[in-house]
Each structure stands twice: as C-alpha cells, then as structure tokens.
A and B are shown apart, each in its own frame.
Chain A
Amino acid sequence: MNKFHRLSVFVVRLMMGLALVGWAGMARAETFQDSAGRTVAIAGPVGKVFPAGPPASIFLYMLAPDLMAGWTRAPRGAERGLLVPAYADLPTIGRLTGRGGSANLETVLAVKPDLILDYGSMKRTYVSLADRVQAQINIPYALIDGRFEKIADAIGAVGRLIGRAQALEPKAREAERIMAELKAVRDALPAGKAPRVYYGRGADGLQTGVGGSINVELLKYAGAVNVAAGEGVGGRGNLASVSIEQVLAWDPDVILTTDPNFYDRVWADAVWQRMRAVRAGRVYLSPTLPFGWFDRPPSANRLIGLRWLLAVLYPERYNAELEAETRRFYRLFYHLDLSDAQLAQVLGPGTRPGTGRSK
C-alpha cells in the first residue's frame, strides 16, 4: 500500500514534470488565502503534507491520512491500537511550532512536502514562523484557524488547499451536524443551573486549567462553569497548581480528569470524599484514545469530546447513544470500524455515568 502510494506519487510527479516541460509558462501556481490572511501559492497537486504541530497532525490524520508526511510525536502503546496500522507506522518528524520545536528545516526539506500545514492559534508567533519558514525553504505554509466552532470551516479550507474539497464535504457536513446538535442541546439547558466543574490534571489531580485556558475550553461549549475561573484566579488561561483546600472550597458538582491514577485516588482519599462531586459519584475519566477527547491536543478530536462532555454533565437530558455516536465518529474521522473490544477500550470504566465508580 505504502509502496503503491509512493509509486503513484512518483508517477504523478513524473507526469507533472512532463507537463511542466511541455507547457512551460502555462502551469501557474494556484494561490489561496489562509486563515491568517496570508497568501499561499501551491503549484500542482499536493501529494505530501508536513504537519507543523500536534493539532495539525491530528487534523490531517482525520482528513487526509494518506498525505501525512509523518507524526509530530510517535503514537505510543494503546494509541497505536486505535490508528490505522499503516499510518501508525509513519515516521516521527518532530514539530515546527512550540517551545520544543524539534523539527529541523533540513528534515522538512528532506521529507519534500508540497505543503506545510499548521492548525490552531493565529497568534503572531505562528504567523511569523510560517512567513519565515516559507521564505527560507520555499514550501507553501498554510495556517488554519483551529477554533472549536470553526471546525467545519477549517475542514473546507484544508479541502481546498489539498484539492479535495469535494471528498471532504461529508466530513465538513458531519462536523456541522454535530455542532448544530450540540447547540440545540445547549440551548435547551435551563438557565442559571450550569454545573460547576473542576478539571484535575496530574497524578494528584491538583493541576488545572484556569480561566479561559485551552485545556478547559470545552466546558464553555457545554454550558458548564470552570470553578478555577473568576476572581482571584486570573483571567489568563493557563495551567496552574491549586491546593486541595481550594478545591474543597470550590466544592464542584462534577470532577473531570484524564489521569487514571487520580481517578482511582479520588475514591480512596478522605478529603476528596468530602466533596459533593465525589459523594455523588460524579467524577469522570475522559477518554484519551487515540487522541484525547477533552483536553489535549486542541484539535478536531474534541468534537466527540464535547458530545461526551454533554453526556456526563447532563445524563438525564442528553442521553444520546454515545456508543453509536462514537462508532460513527471513529468511522468517519479515524478511518476505523470500532470492534466491541476497541469500543470498550475507548469508553473504559469511569468514562461514563454508571461505569467504573462513576454514577
């Protein structure tokens, strides 16, 4: 498959080369405008895309895995079991974005991508990085707005960039459908009764996303209140450590976590047990396979995460068939027909009301 793919790319390139020789001057680069308003010129069909960071690599995997040049971070252990095997084995190419930027431009050149794709923040840092890289190695570098409510638009934008607008249409429509459904649910929520949620990270559950942190962004879309926001916490969204006394003072209605160690600890610890959420059994472990549902990384993987969040926050109102929705999402976006065992692995104990020790 891989070989065949490479061969086909080779043939395409060969034909492209011939075409260029034949009709020199006639082949014109097509220009696009990316989400940051930058002009990106792409000459000919896109056969390989270099994701600039983890959100981009997930987005790319969801939309066009065959174009992926590689992963920004090698998928590990259980994650690999929920990826299409051929793609799980793609090379690790490092990331261009972020503090620990580990991809070297020579690697990028050696990979010979037709396009570099970044998906996420449109902050000036990323725009200037894109401009610099594009000028330096002359490979088109497109920035796509990664805001949650823009997922359908982003799918369309990527579709146009890689020349697959039509093929990606169903995915964009599915994203729209999910968003619309979620909005309907949200609109039906009674006013003034928003659940107060604490999101505990780390093995002791005492790190949390404060304010409008990207880590807890989904809470907003689920109509819930992050307890670690408001006065005394600071509006700047980031991760911070809090004392257990503070969590006790907040006394949240629901506790969410991605850490199984913390999930286990919560039920055994005397102090955590004092909290309303723990006594009511409303502590939930967010699914994380193959990509996180709730927190990390902030990419389109969170679409299914929001559906899950509504299910755990409003079990009596929003009792959608999470399992069926999960299968549908994984089939369309993760290219995988979940077996029962795989589904059980994704939606393990504690991830839903009535499983594990969660109620």
Chain B
Amino acid sequence: MRLAGIPWFAAGLAGLFVLFCLAAATGQYPLSVGDVLGALWQGISGARGDDAAATVVLDIRLPRLAAALLVGLALAASGATYQTVFRNPLVAPDILGVSAGAGLGAVFAIFLSLPVAMIQAFAFVFGLGAVAIVYGMAKVVRGAHEPILVLVLAGVVIGAVMGAGISALTYLADPYDQLPAITFWLMGSLAGVTYDDLMAAWPAVALGLLPLAALRWRVNLMALSEDEARALGVDTARLRVGLVVAATLMTSSVVAISGTVGWVGLIIPHMARFIVGPEFSRLLPATVLIGAAYVLAVDTLARSLVAVEIPIGILNAFIGAPLFLWVLARARRSWS
C-alpha cells in the first residue's frame, strides 16, 4: 500500500493535535474545558495568573503531554531505524541493551537513594554504556561472523548481564523502601515528568532525529544485503554506526525520563509500514506521528482511568500485544 504525496502527513498532524487537546482536557484534577482553554491562553499570552488551573494545565499536564509525545516519537523512530538497519522486523530499540542498561543505572541510583535528576542521569549513562560495551564486544568477536548477528547477540548477552545486575540490586535493596521504587521505575511511568526533565531530554532526541531525517532516503539502502549496499556505493559500516548511535541516543534519553516503556519501538514501525510502506522517507514521519499519538493516548489512559497511576509498561503490554498480533495478521507480506 502506498499513499501519494504528503496529505496523509498533514491529516495525521491534525489528528495528533486533536488528541493533544483532548488529553490536555483530561485528568484527575477537576477542570472544565473553559478552565483548560483559559489556562492555555495564559500560557500563550504569557500573562500567567496564579490559579490552580494554570498550574495543572501548564505545569503538570503540558510537560507530561510533551514528554509522552517525545517518548513516543523517539522510541518509534529508533525502532523503525533499528528494524531497517538490522533488516529484521522483530528488532526493538532495546535490542542493544539500552533499556536493560538504563534500567540498571536507574536501579543503582535508587539503591543509592539518589534524587530524581541523578536517577535519570544514571539511566542515561548506563544505557549508552551498555550499547558501547555491546559495540566493543561485537568488534572484538567479529571476523568470520555476520557482523549484524554478532551485534544482536552481543546485545542479548549484555542485556542479560544487565538484567542480572538489576536482579542482584533488587535483591540487595531495602524491601520496604527501595524495592517498590525500583519496581515502579522498571514498569515505566511519566507521572513525575517536569519541564526540567523535558529540557534535558529533548535536545538529545533532536540530536538523534536530525540525522535520521537527513538520511531518510539513504537509510533504505541499509535494508539491502551488505554486499548489495556496498556495491551501490554505500559506506555501510559508517552509515550503520551513525544510525545506530542516533537511534540509541534517542532511546536512552527518553528511557531516562520514562523508565522502560516496551512495545512502542516494536509495533509502531509495523503499523506505520502497514499504512505507508517501508520506504523510509515516508516511514519515518508516519512512525513519528503514530508513535507520538500512541504514547500520548496510552499515558492519558494511564493517568485518568483510576486515581492511582496504571504503570504505562503494563498498559502497553495489554494494548500492544493484541495490536501487534493484529498487525501481524493483516500485514503478512510486510516481510518475507
């Protein structure tokens, strides 16, 4: 299936905007639509009053909605990139151990009873560190083996080691104090997101997304076999490193603020491919739109269904798994 031109993108953007407005009007704090609009106007006009509506809409909901968009687009875009670069539709952004590494970093920081900013910093650094180790390992082992296979296997191995580290720390953690915090972090949540978190995360996401956007046509060549791509004049090794670094940067910077949010990076690219096809210059914008909308919708459910937060990881698995099966059934020919 293939849609001509760009109108679908504009339509998608409009849909996302509507969803955003609905999400902004939803929440536990009772506000009328008028209150929300008034607060938004205050935010736009810069004449901020000191009413609760302004705080709820501008200080709580807006950063959270923006974070949901950021997390969704970053995970989905990096998922699409990984799937194309590794020529494997079942690859997710955490394939290289990013999530496991970030999880270990966050758990370690919680174990040390550090403040939120440090938990995020640890998650980010450990996430990138895990990928660096995976890459180093793949470099050492490579030779006679298929380099991508080595990379993915190294990711699995390091992911398992990081997972064991998380288990060890949860085992050592204070069961009354730290263990619940660790569990909640690992289930993923945007409950505490602030503007500071956003400010820390968005430049890294932008830094990762820009090269993807600039290379959006050339990325297609990575879907060919190594020999074919190189025979077409592509410096595959360099391009692959660049793309993986960009995607990893996006993943680890959002995982640092949201905790581990599974499924998005796996299923959203499939949905996008189902709608606009695999050609990356169409796939990337579609993936970004759908990913942002998806996490926005799921997080809105997570924070508004009941008074307590439903961990986004749990909600995601319940929504994501059937969705994935549906896409799988509908788009059997997406890969062969």
A and B touch in the complex (CB under 8 A): yes
Interface segment out of the listed B1-9, B109-117, B129-137, B141-149:
B109-117
Interface of B is mostly: loop
Known A-B contacts A244-B60, A258-B177, A271-B55; A234 and B115 likewise in contact (beta carbons under 8 Å): no
Query: Does A248 contact B191, Cβ atoms closer than 8 Å?
Result: no
A273 → chain B, closest Cβ, in Å? 9
Query: Does A295 contact B176, Cβ atoms closer than 8 Å?
Result: yes
Known A-B contacts A98-B175, A249-B28; A241 and B308 likewise in contact (beta carbons under 8 Å): yes
Q: Name the B residues within 8 Å of A261 (CB-CB).
A: 113-116
Which of A202, A204, A241, A244 gathers the greatest number of chain B CB atoms within 10 Å?
Answer: A241
Q: In this assembly, does A274 line the interface, its C-beta being within 8 Å of a C-beta of chain B? A: yes
Q: In this assembly, does A228 line the interface, its C-beta being within 8 Å of a C-beta of chain B? A: yes
Please give me the residue from chain A that is nearest to B306 by CB atom: A232
Which of A202, A206, A232 gathers the greatest number of chain B CB atoms within 10 Å?
Answer: A202
Docked CA distance A231–B306 (Å)? 9
Q: Name the B residues within 8 Å of A295 (CB-CB).
A: 176-177
Query: Does B180 contact A228, Cβ atoms closer than 8 Å?
Result: no
Docked CA distance A269–B171 (Å)? 32
Please give me the residue from chain A that is nearest to B59 by CB atom: A271
Query: Does A245 contact B116, Cβ atoms closer than 8 Å?
Result: no
Q: Name the B residues within 8 Å of A244 (CB-CB).
A: 60, 191-192
Docked CA distance A244–B309 (Å)? 10
Q: Mark A196-237, 1 if CB is under 8 A from B, else 0.
A: 000001111011001000000000000000001001111000
Q: Name the A residues within 8 Å of B307 (CB-CB).
A: 228, 231-233, 242, 246
Q: In this assembly, does A54 line the interface, its C-beta being within 8 Å of a C-beta of chain B? A: yes
- Chain A interface size, as a band, is 35 or more
Query: Does A239 contact B180, Cβ atoms closer than 8 Å?
Result: yes
Query: Does A100 contact B175, Cβ atoms closer than 8 Å?
Result: yes
Please give me the residue from chain B that is nearest to A231 by CB atom: B307
Which of A73, A203, A239, A274 gathers the greatest number of chain B CB atoms within 10 Å?
Answer: A203
Docked CA distance A265–B50 (Å)? 21
Query: Does B306 contact A234, Cβ atoms closer than 8 Å?
Result: yes
Query: Does B194 contact A269, Cβ atoms closer than 8 Å?
Result: yes
A59 → chain B, closest Cβ, in Å? 15
Q: In this assembly, does B29 line the interface, its C-beta being within 8 Å of a C-beta of chain A? A: yes
A299 → chain B, closest Cβ, in Å? 11
Q: Name the A residues within 8 Å of B60 (CB-CB).
A: 243-245, 248, 271
Q: Mark B277-316, 1 if CB is under 8 A from A, else 0.
A: 0000000000000000000000000010011110100000
B191 → chain A, closest Cβ, in Å? 5
Docked CA distance A261–B177 (Å)? 13
Q: Name the B residues within 8 Å of A357 (CB-CB).
A: none
Query: Does B28 contact A246, Cβ atoms closer than 8 Å?
Result: yes
Query: Does B56 contact A248, Cβ atoms closer than 8 Å?
Result: yes
Q: In this assembly, does A297 line the interface, its C-beta being within 8 Å of a C-beta of chain B? A: yes
Query: Does A274 contact B55, Cβ atoms closer than 8 Å?
Result: yes
Q: In this assembly, does B273 line the interface, its C-beta being within 8 Å of a C-beta of chain A? A: no
Please give me the residue from chain A that is nearest to B109 by CB atom: A203
Q: Mark B174-201, 1 if CB is under 8 A from A, else 0.
A: 1111001100100001011010000000
Of the residues B61, B113, B115, B189, contact of A241 by C-beta under 8 Å: B189
Q: Name the A residues within 8 Å of B176 (CB-CB).
A: 54, 292, 295-297
Docked CA distance A121–B28 (Å)? 34
- Interfacial residues of chain A within 229-282, with CB under 8 A of chain B in the complex: 231-234, 239-246, 248-249, 258-261, 264-265, 269-271, 274
A217 → chain B, closest Cβ, in Å? 13
Known A-B contacts A73-B174, A100-B171, A243-B191; A207 and B180 likewise in contact (beta carbons under 8 Å): yes
Q: Name the B residues within 8 Å of A265 (CB-CB).
A: 115-116
Known A-B contacts A242-B308, A245-B28, A248-B56; A203 and B119 likewise in contact (beta carbons under 8 Å): yes
Q: In this assembly, does B89 line the interface, its C-beta being within 8 Å of a C-beta of chain A? A: no
Q: Name the B residues within 8 Å of A264 (CB-CB).
A: 115
Query: Does B306 contact A245, Cβ atoms closer than 8 Å?
Result: no
- Interfacial residues of chain B within 43-58, with CB under 8 A of chain A in the complex: 52, 55-56
Q: Name the A residues within 8 Å of B115 (CB-CB).
A: 203, 261, 264-265
Please give me the residue from chain A that is nearest to B182 by CB atom: A202
A55 → chain B, closest Cβ, in Å? 10
Please give me the residue from chain B that is nearest to A53 by CB atom: B175
Docked CA distance A280–B214 (Å)? 53
Docked CA distance A231–B176 (Å)? 26
Query: Does A228 contact B308, Cβ atoms closer than 8 Å?
Result: yes
Q: Name the A residues within 8 Å of B308 (CB-CB).
A: 210, 228, 233-234, 240-242, 246
Please give me the residue from chain B that is nearest to A258 by CB atom: B177
B109 → chain A, closest Cβ, in Å? 8
Q: In this assembly, does B12 line the interface, its C-beta being within 8 Å of a C-beta of chain A? A: no
Please give me the residue from chain B that is nearest to A273 by CB atom: B55
Query: Does A201 contact B192, Cβ atoms closer than 8 Å?
Result: no
Q: Name the A residues within 8 Å of B28 (CB-CB).
A: 243, 245-246, 249
Known A-B contacts A248-B52, A248-B55, A296-B177; A202 and B184 likewise in contact (beta carbons under 8 Å): yes
Q: In this assembly, does B34 line the interface, its C-beta being within 8 Å of a C-beta of chain A? A: no
Docked CA distance A202–B185 (Å)? 10
Please give me the residue from chain A that is nearest to B171 by CB atom: A100
Q: In this assembly, does B27 line the interface, its C-beta being within 8 Å of a C-beta of chain A? A: yes
Query: Does B180 contact A201, Cβ atoms closer than 8 Å?
Result: yes
Please give me the residue from chain B that is nearest to A269 by CB atom: B194
Query: Does A245 contact B184, Cβ atoms closer than 8 Å?
Result: no
Query: Does A296 contact B192, Cβ atoms closer than 8 Å?
Result: no
B64 → chain A, closest Cβ, in Å? 8
Q: In this assembly, does B30 line the interface, its C-beta being within 8 Å of a C-beta of chain A? A: yes
- Spell out B's residues near A (CB within 8 Å): 27-30, 52, 55-56, 59-61, 64, 110, 113-116, 119, 171, 174-177, 180-181, 184, 189, 191-192, 194, 303, 306-309, 311
16 A–B pairs (Cβ distance < 8 Å), ordered by A: A202-B180, A202-B184, A210-B308, A228-B308, A234-B306, A234-B308, A241-B189, A243-B27, A244-B191, A244-B192, A245-B28, A245-B29, A245-B56, A245-B60, A246-B307, A274-B55
Given contacts A245-B60, A248-B55, 12 further A-B contacts (CB under 8 A): A54-B176, A102-B171, A203-B113, A204-B191, A210-B308, A233-B306, A242-B307, A244-B192, A248-B56, A248-B60, A270-B59, A292-B177
